[in-house]
Structure 1
């Protein structure tokens, strides 16, 4: 179903509710990005509790502002991918190693098991998986400060 004639709201329990063009209420819908790392503004689907797509938006510009705010709030509770802004220090240039990093959510320490845990997603975008399975994003490795780039280059 495309985004023709529907309404999105929250119920009294805080769940997202999609009221489709036929007036059917779908309680507990959740948004899913088509490209959560490489094109976050493109393609968002609203899914029902069984994973069936109920509504599709080709991009965020096609979503009415009040609904976009609901979708973004819901995505914020579901998505957790801190962005690495700076690599402060690494314990050793061999793996496993401990990294002290600065993220968009504050400072933290991660453990890198192996060099294969640093993956290029597209262009200069990197995805780093720590030993606990958490994912950290470097949006543009060329935009990091000189010290961070130097540390990162030792592992790629």
Structure 2
């Protein structure tokens, strides 16, 4: 654990995160943003004001007081929603747009893949798939998927 930060964090009556600097300056509506949400999700966080200006940097959440960890974890959960695909159950066809049925860490769901360009390669072997509503689905390791899922995925890559 490093030295205690020289700022304070709390939620106001409206549930918004409030940052109080060492000099007493107060900023409401602060957001916690991951620097590398996929490749290094556990390291590198910025507290930013509503205009995107960095107020403070946090190397690791373990570096902040324990009382803040829950607060910051809640903030991240409210901002980030990226289901992780565990299995591709079926696709309606191999021409886009098509409907994909997948098992995720949030349960089974269907989404529309508008085009093959909506499947992006990340640091190998990860992929990110954007559906027609802008929700991003993550495949952490395409090689770890079952044979049926890999076969479907290979038709689109």
Same topology, TM > 0.5: yes
* Secondary structure of 1:98's aligned partner: strand
Quick check: 1:63 aligned with 2:64? Answer: yes
User: In the alignment, what sits opposite 1:140?
Assistant: 141
2:112 alignment partner in structure 1: 111
Task: Select between 39-48 and 59-68 the one with higher mean Cα deviation.
Answer: 59-68
In 2, Cα distance between equivalents of 1:26 and 1:132: 32
Shift of 1:32: 0.9
TM superposition score normalised by structure 1: 0.90
CA RMSD of aligned residues (A): 1.6
TM-score under structure 2 length normalisation: 0.89
In 2, the alpha carbon distance for the partners of 1:97 and 1:13 equals: 41
Is structure 2 residue 92 aligned with structure 1 residue 91? yes
Please state whether the residue corresponding to 2:148 is helix, strand or coil: helix
**For residues 63 and 25 of structure 2, what CA distance do their matches in structure 1 show?**
22
**Equivalent residues of 2:5, 2:64 under 8 A apart:** no
Structure 1 residues without counterparts, runs of 5 or longer: none
CA distance in 1, matches of 2:65, 2:87: 36
> Who is 1:81 aligned against?
82
**Deviation of residue 142 (structure 1)?**
1.5
The aligned counterpart of 2:35 is 34
Quick one: distance in 2 between partners of 1:141 and 1:127?
10
For the pair 1:121 / 2:102, whether they are aligned, the reply is no
Give the match for residue 8 of structure 1: 9
* Alignment match, 2:103: 102
Deviation at 1:153, TM superposition (A): 1.4
Supply the distance in 2 between the matched residues of 1:84 and 1:128 (Cα, whole angstroms).
Answer: 9
Aligned length: 154
Distance 1:132 1:10 in 2: 30
